[in-house]
Amino acid sequence: MTNYDRLSKLIEKGQPFSAAEARKTGAPTQTLTRLCRNGTIQRIARGLYVNPQSISEHEELKIVSKLIPYGVICLLSALKYHNLTSQLPHQVWLAIPQGRRRKIISYPEVTYISISPPYYNFGIEEHTHDGVTIKVYSIAKTVADCFKFRNSIGLDVALEVLKETKADRKVTNVQIMEAAKVCRVAKIIMPYLEALS
């Protein structure tokens, strides 16, 4: 059995895999270097590889989810995930619990939002893409987050998202207000919700 044969199951899965996972197959680390050179696999972050044929729409989110499993996709990245914006964020927006270390990764670029536990835990959804679990905030929580972090992303973005979700009936006023109460922005969102009703 060749070293490529040992790695073939990982490569054919189509999901990012670590150098540690590759070593468990019995293939030496030099094999990864050789496969990167010939284009069979692509190094996407330190110690993380993927089959370039399998790179999908959510590839950056899969990479971040694999490297930072305690993070939750939020704000602009969550908007893009839920198809609530046509903008392509230049980095992955990631919520982490207060007190957790901000892991430095070379790719993709990550903007961290540190959040206290009760607020961090509310509205987490788990979605699986190519065998990788991606944690992302629900639409209602994302709308509330946009108002909470309006100074970082802009009030115009928050208002556009609120209009979009109302027009498409993706969430109810009750769901938005529940998330807004948890995020402590109910008084801010309420006038805008009433104006759109």
Reduced 3-state DSSP string for 10-34: HHHHCCCEEHHHHHHCCCCHHHHHH
- All CATH 1.10.10 domain ranges in the chain, comma separated: 3-54
Residue 57 has a pLDDT of: 67
Lowest mean pLDDT among 15-24, 77-86, 146-155: 15-24
pTM, entire model: 0.76
State the pLDDT at residue 56. Answer: 65
Task: Identify the band that residue 125 occupies on the pLDDT scale cut at 50, 70 and 90.
Answer: very high
| pLDDT reported for residue 1 | 67
Alpha-carbon dihedral 15, 19, 25, 30, rounded to 10 degrees:
120
pLDDT above 90 for 170:
no
pLDDT tier for residue 71 given thresholds of 50, 70 and 90: very high
> Domain 3-54 classified CATH 1.10.10?
yes
Please state the rounded mean pLDDT for residues 116-127. Answer: 93
- If pLDDT is split at 50, 70 and 90, which confidence band does 89 have? confident
What digits encode the pLDDT tens for the residues 13-70?
777 888 888 888 888 878 888 888 888 888 877 788 878 776 666 888 988 998 899 9
Q: For position 180, what pLDDT does the model report?
A: 95
More confident residue, 95 or 49: 95
